[in-house]
Chains A and B, each alone.
Chain A
């Protein structure tokens, strides 16, 4: 007798050819292709933003205003004392300047994480994301930007430069390379922490609002961590690793021998935190059920 292929198998095969994303390109080619897509996303976003030039200027002014206030607070503090737990004004200023670079990088791409539960999960935008042959996480992250992040990065670099001049430090090529290595590492820590919080909404509706208290911790991660008590230091190093977004990496430049080795762990911490959050995200996507809206 003739072998009859069961109907179900036929369908499965058919589905497979229909839905499988035929991809015989190399991994590098695929990455370059994705980078081009997200580059196009960014250009598109910039065009959209520049249509509202006044908004952009006001946003930048708001960033500048908050910076002036932070600097005023720091300078007033240091008009009353020469050193906080041994850290002088230029050193603390440098840490603050450094903190703005990863924060700017993070702010640039993180806008969509805040509204993720409302817009993507409840509003149904996530269905559209899943239909496209590009990673869901990358799409969500790159679908919108916050251009004021760019101002933060520029201002952070300027503050680092001026604090460096005050310290009389000579920054060379190694330091520039270290910055290229440490700042994105620190930004990954931010991204990992907030991605982790966002991912929770795949399972439970976040009625508590977990992000704000965590976000509010950021401003205290800019000060030398040594001023805090031991439990707080341990908490910021291991539990909610915000010590790695500013103090530890910045200490590579201004912290002397004591912190230079620790600082170099920053990118590793970034990869660990972000990797953990990305894994959680993948499980969340598997768990995702559309609301149908």
Chain B
């Protein structure tokens, strides 16, 4: 066998050993981490942004609970006291700083600019590459973004401690699953670019809709029952609502197990769905010059 043939054998995804695959995608994780490290200055102002988000909701909910006290209504809303509510808001945004990424926007850009063609001829699966990059980005975010945000937000707004050591551990597991769910969902949104030439509007809707549907802005327990049962059938609650409720100790025992299993199911389900959509979409991709 010639050298060229061995190289092909090594590179061809169907001949690659699992270990080699792991090495390949591991490389993308490392590269993404380094890439974001180069742009770390941007994240300093990001810390300010997130503090603003938390501060805005902090005052809003303080006014809400104070208003209820003045009107002689109960001290809990949707099962949360004012302290728990502040913690809910802070942990939601801290979590968001970790799992957030721009997969949909990046994928849409690749499709509309034709760059996608170059990725399609390379011996890797773009969905896995983007997931690997999301992991690398999350690693960067954890160190350079999420932890600084925590260091600012937790003392300033007196954020409550986790419900216990186990709750903290499960919250971390849960947010890790959020990363997978968020990324795969975002990948699916990005795939819309294959069908539509311009998805700026869709991307904007995703930006606005995501934080609402994941429960970052208002916990679902504030909503009427019909809304709560509707979101139970959607993947969004698994991105933020479930891990934050675990942190607050509102999901323990069987409910905790249910929550984690639901997250795993959505993570796997969405990954498969994205794979199928990808397969269908790339079969008929048209690149206009690029």
Contacts and interface: CB of A to CB of B under 8 A. Distances in A.
B201 A59 contact: yes
Interface in B195-217: 196, 198-202, 204-205, 208-209, 212, 217
Nearest to B47: A213
Contacts of A229: 59
A61 B208 contact: no
Contact of A85 (B52, B66, B200): B66
Chain B interface, >50% SS class: helix
Interface stretch (B37-45, B118-126, B245-253): B37-45
A210 B44 CA distance: 10
B205 A61 contact: yes
Given A62-B204, A208-B42, A229-B59, A85 B218 contact: no
B68 interface: yes
Contacts of A55: 198, 200-201
Interface string B47-71: 0110011011001101110111001
A220 B56 contact: yes
B217 A73 contact: yes
Contacts of B63: 84-85, 227
Contacts, number: 107
Interface in B90-139: none
Interface residues of A, number: 36
A31 to B, nearest CB: 34
Contact of B56 (A76, A210, A219): A219
Contacts of B217: 73
A207 interface: yes
Contacts of B201: 55, 58-59, 61-62
B222 interface: yes
A170 B132 CA distance: 59
B73 interface: yes
A212 to B, nearest CB: 6
A217 B48 CA distance: 10
- Name, among B45, B66, B73, B222, the residue most crowded by chain A CB atoms within 10 Å (CB to CB): B45
Contacts of B224: 79
B222 to A, nearest CB: 5
9 contacts: A52-B198, A54-B198, A65-B205, A69-B212, A72-B212, A77-B60, A77-B64, A80-B222, A81-B73
